[in-house]
């Protein structure tokens, strides 16, 4: 089995950037959000379960789940978010397990915003958490993703505090400063992983 890094962090903290750099360094990378999209494709069991749980209004004219409409429902009602996660997470975990088994790389990185909450971290050798300041999250969501301020604030507040993730991290990547400073942190942490693997 490869060495597995679980990469997480709250919305707009910079996980995708860190994931891209780790891919360039030689890791196999798995995006849990992309796997969630795959398991919710039309015809999949998860798609049918989501429609049954949240109604036909969350399905568009092409039979795809309307993720924006679904997000407006679940991110304002915690009990509905929990229900969605109970439907989606098992299928995503199963898909990721299969991808890890098939990987030939020394290191696999699983990028999952719900890594800790879904207990996907149990299969990881190390947990890396990407952080930044709350005002940076808000600015990035508005500037880079085109969200209205109230929607961006809702999405940030729907997640557990960053400190809860930091408390469980083996590695913390602080993405609140210059890009190069973040890149150096990633390179240093990656170097320690490689040293460990060579030693073992």
Strand (E) or helix (H) holding 36: helix 32-39
pLDDT at position 93 over 90? yes
pLDDT at position 89 over 90? yes
Q: Out of 3.40.50.300, 3.40.50.10140, 3.40.50.720, 3.50.50.60, select the CATH number for domain 3-199.
A: 3.40.50.300
Quote the distance between the C-alpha of residue 33 and its chain's center: 6
What pLDDT was estimated at residue 180?
98
* Cα–Cα distance measured from residue 68 to residue 58, given in angstroms and rounded to the nearest whole number: 9
Per-residue pLDDT averaged across 27-53, rounded? 96
pLDDT at position 76 over 90? no
pLDDT at position 23 over 90? yes
Per-domain residue ranges for the chain? 3-199
What pLDDT was estimated at residue 110?
98
Summarised one tens digit per residue, pLDDT across range 105-156 is 999 999 999 999 888 999 999 999 999 999 999 999 999 999 999 999 999 9
Name residue, tokens 């460990």: 196
What pLDDT was estimated at residue 119?
87
Report the share of the chain in percent with pLDDT over 90.
94
3 state DSSP class of 101: helix
Is the model more confident about 75 or about 24? Answer: 24
What pLDDT was estimated at residue 3?
98
pTM of this prediction? Answer: 0.92
What pLDDT was estimated at residue 48?
96
């Amino acid at each position: 089995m490869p060495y597995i890094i679980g990469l997480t962090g709250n919305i707009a903290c910079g996980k995708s950037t860190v994931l891209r750099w780790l891919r360039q360094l030689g890791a196999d990378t798995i995006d849990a959000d992309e796997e969630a999209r795959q398991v919710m494709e039309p015809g999949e069991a998860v798609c049918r379960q989501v429609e049954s749980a949240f109604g036909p209004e969350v399905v568009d004219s092409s039979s795809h789940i309307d993720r924006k409409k679904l997000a407006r429902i679940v991110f304002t009602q915690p009990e509905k978010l929990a229900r969605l996660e109970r439907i989606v997470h098992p299928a995503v975990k199963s898909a990721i397990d299969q991808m890890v088994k098939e990987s030939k790389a020394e290191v696999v990185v699983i990028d999952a915003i719900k890594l800790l909450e879904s207990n996907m971290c149990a299969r990881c050798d190390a947990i890396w958490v990407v952080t930044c300041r709350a005002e940076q999250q808000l600015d990035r969501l508005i500037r880079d993703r085109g969200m209205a301020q109230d929607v961006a604030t809702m999405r940030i507040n729907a997640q557990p505090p960053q400190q809860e993730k930091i408390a469980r991290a083996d590695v913390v990547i602080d993405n609140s400063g210059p890009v190069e400073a973040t890149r150096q942190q990633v390179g240093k942490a990656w170097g320690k992983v490689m040293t460990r693997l060579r030693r073992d």
